[in-house]
Amino acid sequence: MRRKIYILLLVCICTSFSSCGALEQGKTENVTITLRDSVKFTSAEIQDAIDTVMKYFKTFRGCELRVLWFDESFSNVEAEKFLIEEKAFLEGVRETDVIVLFSSFYAGPFEQVRTQGLQPDFVYEQWYWRLVRKNSESKWVVDGYGIP
């Protein structure tokens, strides 16, 4: 009898710890994607960047990605700022190896999103995602994000 009580108690403790503070991964299922034509990147390159951001967003626990877009004119402005500010550290990185996407997302009402540096129950607009790669054959990597 005592053993059953211990097992039941252990199950209750494990269940409470597993659900306590555990937010589901960032949601991307209902995102609206908007793309503008690009002179610098192919459709496949832009799609790869989008896929990279969508995968990365899943680490934004308790959040929902609502809109994700690429506009080359805005992307170029942010990429140029990055290349100028970080030039000493970026040997060999060309402007065609930096792409910036923008998004809108909702940070859920959970206090735990605050531990990610986000304000709970808040919609972030104009959030940028800076991606870099070594060359046109390599994969995009999220290098930075935030509000410009």
pLDDT tens-digit profile of 37-60?
999 999 999 999 999 999 999 999
Q: Measuring CA to CA, which residue among 41, 28, 3, 49 is closest to residue 143?
A: 49
Residue 6: is its pLDDT beyond 60? no
| Residues with Cβ within 8 Å of residue 147, at least 6 apart in sequence | 124, 126, 127, 128
Mean pLDDT of 61-87: 93
List the structure tokens of 57.
């967003």
| Mean pLDDT, all residues of the chain | 85
Higher pLDDT, 47 or 21: 47
Predicted confidence (pLDDT) at residue 2 exceeds the cutoff of 50: yes
